[in-house]
Structure 1
Amino acid sequence: MTAPVHGITPRDVPQVRLDILDWLASPTTRTILEQRAPTPGVTQFLAANAASAELYYVNSDMTHLAHTVGRDLGVYALTPDDLPARSGLLVWETPLDDGGAHWAPSAVMWLANETRFSVSMFVSATHYLHWAKAWGPSAVTDARPIRAGRLILRGQAQPLPVDGRERPWETMNLAANDVVLRTLLATWLLIRQPASARTLHHVEHVPAPKSVQHRLRGRAPDPAAAIRLVTLRRALRPAAGAAADREHAAQVYRHRWVVRLHRRTYPDHTSPSGFDKKWIGPYLAVPKGCESAPIIGADRVNVLRR
């Protein structure tokens, strides 16, 4: 894995959690955040979120896939079961460019209950401070109280519902956070796909460094919690020695294809309507006998960039 632009690797994520907890424990941070927040108790909320968060790191391939899938979402619909965890800290290897490198989110924290979830967004401190220095000394000074190690707090998105009701995406009024929340929703749904030969992702558990585990004792429920590293399945990448092509899979035959993210209706005897809708995909459609065949459809595999 090449070095990410923000300098955070999968094994660094527990340290990122520790940096956030240390930052929130600072009296200066508490004062600044409480002054800026619309509701009191924001520092306690963020600290509880960071302490209880499950840890995720999404590599560049999967980040690009999630960004592409999220961009095409026409409806918003989410239930608690669609989230990979009630509380999480997720780092994208590639920042999401939605308004300049200094403002491109590299990480998010979320906390959900039965009715809604809240998201806090962080940007690369390296990128932000580079921009701030060019802007002027006051911008650098203003960044200090919102810096948590290698990240800087961008802000919090509006709480969003997890009631499962479908809403046209354009009615969500997400403004500057639209790209972030589209990509986050797509990332969650990709991670939540049951592991099988058809899924596009692979999850491995990376152990937390022992030095960070020791420092987290008493500050997180499970200091030794592993980081879930989410990557694009290697079977979907061009074969070794294949002609280079940044846009598509290396070989295209008529045997397998990617089914895009969509909503599907299922019978549900517990629902008053008698049915329920769930997110399905994206996944590989694999006809019998085509388990090792390449993927068909240039327009459907152009998200699988290296």
Structure 2
Amino acid sequence: MIAATARDVPEIRARMTDWARDPELDGAGNWFRFFLGPSPDGVTESRVFDRVDDVGATIAGTLAIQLPAAKLFYVSADMTDLARHAADPLTDCRLHPEDLPAQIGVMVYEHPPVEGTAAGRHNDVTVVSWGPGRGGLWVHTWATTSASQQGLVRIGRALAQLPHDEMLARARSAAARNLPEPTPDNKPSDSEEIADQTADHVLATFLSNLERAQVPPSFTPPHGYEWCALTPMEFAEMEGWPGGVSEGKSSGDTDARIALQRTILATWLLMGQTLVRSEPMTAPRAARRRIERLDPVLDPTVRYIDLRRARTEPSDRPDDDVEKGMREYRHRWIVRWHWRNQDYPSRSDHRPIWIDPHFAGPEDKPLLGGERVNVLRR
């Protein structure tokens, strides 16, 4: 899939909103019912849902309310890279509602902020949506469909054309035969037999899903982004983020999920600092007309988030500048990038502030490590 631009974001939100509101088989309600069900595995780990909750229906209903009201943001490639870079040294902190760029939002990254992990689902995430929910803040992550998923998507769409009763009977038969996953070693030579074996394996895998809902005709959401996970985030002291609800988990999922969540948090914190600039943009005229046909009330504007030109001095002075001013330094030196905790008496807490690399010390003194320095500017 071609990377989305900032002007694409309003129409992306419009398509997601239309999907969330759709009561038919291709809408969010049936999609979550099929893939999640009322009580997915690990749901109690989120500390938000109980076993009596219909989780899929709750998520779909919440999205239908929040997506139309969301403020839209597009994060440039440079800003995405800085957020991922800044996520690693970010210390655990207390998130406050005022740290968010908007109470309800949709944020699209120019490229995936976390790549190369063992969990492919997180590697393809480019869209984040959030809003208030039970337990604090509900954060959803969305990914483009990877090349490795395209085959499964084609099979799912083909199966969706079959009568549900016929598909359910075939799935139960396939599950009873305990079919192995197709591999190069056990594939039949005939191409039609390969297709049948693969389809039977998919049906057996999704038997429990088929027993509670029909296959969504598009299999993946028709707006082009696959829902990956919901993380209910508390406005509280935390080490990382609490566990969330997702479509599936793998052995490498936890580390990748934490890396992605911390990158999202770093993005929000950086967006509130002076090193970031925000520029309003509007969807093209043709896109605005398509948006109006879906919902004339939806706002077609988006905030483009990028970095300002780098400076050699920090964006805000450290607290001990006064003390340093009383000292006599014989050299200049380079201060590496880092987070610094800025006290906020109004909320009886601190907020991490990102400090860019900069020169420190008297300008007329020699630089430690030599006087020649190569500076990469944005």
TM-score computed with the length of structure 1 as normaliser: 0.70
Partner residue of 1:243? none
Deviations 1:86-143 (A, max 9, x none): 1111111111214237852111111136961111111113x2xx21235685466678
Q: Unmatched 5+ residue regions in structure 1?
A: 238-252, 291-295, 298-303
Residue 280 of structure 2 aligns to which amino acid in structure 1?
H
Counterpart of 1:132 in structure 2 is 149
Which residue of the other structure, out of 327, 346, 353, is the alignment partner of 1:280?
353
Task: Answer yes or no: is 1:151 the counterpart of 2:168.
Answer: no
Matched, 1:19 2:15: yes
TM alignment of 1:86-105, pairs within 5 A: 86-95=103-112, 96-97=114-115, 98=117, 99-100=119-120, 103-105=123-125
Question: Is the CA contact (8 Å cut-off) linking 2:335 and 2:360 kept in structure 1?
Answer: no
Contact 2:3/2:111 (CA < 8 Å) preserved in 1?
no
Is contact 2:157–2:219 with CA below 8 Å preserved after alignment? no
1:160 is matched with which residue?
233
Paired residues for 1:212-291 under 5 Å: 212-217=287-292, 219=295, 221-224=297-300, 226-235=301-310, 257=335, 259-268=337-346, 275-283=348-356
Relative contact order (alpha carbons < 8 A, sep ≥ 6): 1 or 2 greater?
A: 2
What is the alpha-carbon distance in structure 1 between the residues aligned to residue 297 and residue 338 of structure 2?
A: 37
Deviation at 1:58, TM superposition (A): 0.6
Decide whether the 8 Å contact of 2:71 with 2:106 is kept in 1. yes
The corresponding residue for 1:179 is 259
Shift of 1:44: 2.1
Equivalent residue, structure 2, for 1:77? 94
Counterpart position of 1:191: 271
Q: CA deviation at 1:203?
A: 1.5
Question: Separation in 2 of the partners of 1:136 and 1:104?
Answer: 16
Are the structure 2 counterparts of residues 8 and 267 from structure 1 closer, same or farther at C-alpha, using a change threshold of 3 Å? closer
Distance in 2, matches of 1:155 and 1:34, equals 15
Between 16-25 and 136-145, the greater mean CA deviation after superposition = 136-145
**Cα deviation, residue 145, structure 1:** 3.2
SS of equivalent residue, structure 1 residue 146:
coil
Distance in structure 1 (CA, Å) of the matches to 2:107 and 2:75: 7
Structure 1, residues 183-233: CA drift from partner, whole Å, max 9, x if none? 11000001112x3xxx2x222111222333344348375524x21111122
- 8 Å Cα contact 2:15-2:223 kept in structure 1: yes
Query: What is the match of residue 301 of structure 1?
Result: none
Letter in 1 for 2:272: R
User: Given that residues 89 and 338 in structure 2 are in contact (C-alpha distance below 8 angstroms), is that contact kept between their aligned partners in structure 1?
Assistant: no
Which residue identity is paired with 1:107? V
Counterpart pick for 1:54 among 71, 93, 117 = 71
Q: Does the 8 A contact of 1:117 with 1:160 survive in 2? A: yes
How many matched pairs? 259
Q: Provide the rounded CA distance (Å) in 2 between the counterparts of 1:254 and 1:64.
A: 28
Structure 1 partner of 2:130: 110
Q: Describe the superposition over 1:246-303 as per-residue Cα deviations: whole angstroms up to 9, x where unpaired.
A: xxxxxxx9577565223333434xx7xxx3222322456687998xxxxx99xxxxxx
User: 3-state SS of the aligned residue for 1:223?
Assistant: coil
C-alpha distance 173-41 of structure 1, shift in aligned 2 (>3 A):
closer
Separation in 1, partners of 2:11, 2:93: 33
Cross-structure match for 2:205: none
Gaps of 5+ in 2: 40-54, 159-214, 245-253, 313-330, 370-375
Distance across 1 between alignment mates of 2:361 and 2:151 = 58
Distance 2:259 2:65 in 1: 26
Task: Give the alignment's Cα RMSD to 1 decimal.
Answer: 3.6
Q: Which amino acid aligns with 1:210?
A: R
Distance 1:102 1:15 in 2: 23
Structure 1 residue 18 displacement after superposition: 1.4
Pair member with larger Rg: 2
Question: 1:151 offset after TM fit, Å?
Answer: 1.7
Distance 2:377 2:127 in 1: 21
Q: Once the two structures are superposed, what CA deviation does each residue of 1:21-62 show, in whole Å capped at 9, x if it has no partner?
A: 222233112223134254233222112221011111111111
